[in-house]
Structure 1
Amino acid sequence: MNSPTSCGRTWCISEDSLRRYVQFASESCIQELLSASDRFGNGNDGWKVLTLGNGVEMSKRRSGSFHTFRSRWILRSVSPKQFIMVANAIDAAKQWDTGLMEARYIKDLEDNLSIIRLRFGENSRPVFKNREFIVYERRETMEDGTMVVAIASLPKEIAAGLQLPKQNNAIRGLLLQSGWVVEKLEHDSCMVTYVVQLDPAGWVPKWLVNRLNMKLVMIIEKLRKLALACPTADTDHHL
């Protein structure tokens, strides 16, 4: 990575360095997501199934201080293109918490690679209250047509180099890993795998964070309703 560029008393990161870091980090995230979707035949691979039934599986895997949670859903009459239109950082964050105050694209590094800011306010739940996340979003289509959306926070040092001042002393949390794998099934249906591991930072009990992470993977049902409301699967959508 290039040396940081001086910006007065602080420093900023060059766009080339930012792009190369995010390309590397997002490739690793994509491989983790594909592995979690079991496309590689890894079996459970450390995942413990919590619930299973009606085409829905909920699992968790121990990973550092906070568990990683996974949900896998069979969505009937929802095509991959329909679902992928709403499977993005901003639409997902709107389902996480009604206290979302700001959700905007900061920078497009490539056609399928963007930097996004998510900011939650005073009215959010305790784990989101006065918190913000600076994340990348990368979208890829595999050779077999499987669609992948990888979303994760930039490291604090990289985020600081973007020269984005915190709003109202907000705590900058970390979306350690998250994203979607959307596989086509027959009859315009799809299998959706969603993985999330979030550290809200600040003083929050680990058990509460793990409970939050478990609830976050349930937003597929809300996104399914948004996808069904999309006028057409062929409509262009900003990535």
Structure 2
Amino acid sequence: MSVSSILPDEAVFADFRNQCLSTDNWISKYDKSEMEVWVEHPPANRGNHEPKIHKIKCKMTIKDVSAATMYDVLHDGQYRKKWDPAMLDSFDIARLSANADVGYYSWLCPKPIKNRDVVTLRSWQVTDDEYIIVNFSVKHPKYPPRSDIVRAISILTGYFIKPTGPNSCTFIYLSQADPKGSLPKWVVNKASQVLAPRVMKCVHKAGQNYPEWKQQNSPDQKPWLYPEQNTLAMMDPAELLIQRADSLENVDECSKVDAQDSEDSS
């Protein structure tokens, strides 16, 4: 990422792509029914700096949906309301460039855990044979953390999609995210290995149903492919700050959240 801008540059996309395709320093946790799950094992020279929140990677071999359709599903906010059972609220806030925006997403958590939300900068890149979407948490001046929802943090989350045929693709999800609150890190890490494949399967099913749905819902409207269709207001990326997972501010927020979660579970 360049010093002058918060927006991801070519190096960010290249690094994300390499992480998705690399097998070095990744430990296999699951391999069944066209689905593979790994967690990152950082190089030994990182010493005590190893992050407490695992970076997880899921790869699905999809044989009945095109890469282009899966990419559209991930972008189409209207369609997400149809297929995402965990979603509480979701909306785009502003455009940052032709291939970047900032948005809000909140989701339901099982009781007694409080619901979570994120504000993320999302950027995407499309080439002749690959699709990449990356996001990370940012601080937006008009969308501070709410008292009724815990503000989670996406350190790095994204998708890499590569066609393997006209109606098949390799679909990879990579994420390092901290849900914050009072959840023990080992619980977070264990749960992510179970939940990620479920989410992947849900997105796959959404992909299977998307062409028929889209045909009935503004079939030519795809602002993620055609920027001229985007009606969101523009925003200066300089107004945003990266939301660090380990900042002192987040530690303070986390202590408040711990108390909230404890009250919920009492």
Partners of 2:60 and 2:130 lie apart in 1 by 15
SS in 1 for 2:192: helix
* Residue from 191, 200, 209 that aligns with 1:212: 191
What's the CA shift string for 1:164-198, capped at 9, x where partnerless? 23333432210111111100112421001110111
The yes-or-no answer on 1:164 pairing with 2:151 is no
* Residue of structure 2 in register with 1:227 after alignment: 207
What's the CA shift string for 1:181-232, capped at 9, x where partnerless? 1001124210011101110112110111112322342112111111111126
The structure carrying a bigger helix percent of its residues is 2
The yes-or-no answer on 1:198 pairing with 2:177 is yes
Partners of 1:184 and 1:33 lie apart in 2 by 18
User: Structure 2: any 5+ residue segments left out of the alignment?
Assistant: 42-49, 225-266
TM-score by length of 2: 0.68
Check conservation: 1:88, 1:149, Cα contact below 8 A: no
Partners of 1:128 and 1:85 lie apart in 2 by 32
Percent of pairs identical after alignment? 17
The yes-or-no answer on 1:189 pairing with 2:168 is yes
Report the CA distance shift for 1:53/1:213 in structure 2 as closer, same or farther (over 3 A): closer
* Residue of structure 2 in register with 1:52 after alignment: 31
User: Structure 1: any 5+ residue segments left out of the alignment?
Assistant: 1-16
* Residue of structure 2 in register with 1:110 after alignment: 97
* Residue of structure 2 in register with 1:34 after alignment: 17
SS in 1 for 2:124: strand
Superposed CA RMSD: 2.9
Letter paired with 1:102: D
* Residue from 64, 73, 80 that aligns with 1:77: 64
Partners of 1:69 and 1:116 lie apart in 2 by 23
* Residue of structure 1 in register with 2:255 after alignment: none
SS in 2 for 1:21: coil
The structure carrying a bigger strand percent of its residues is 1
Check conservation: 1:67, 1:197, Cα contact below 8 A: yes
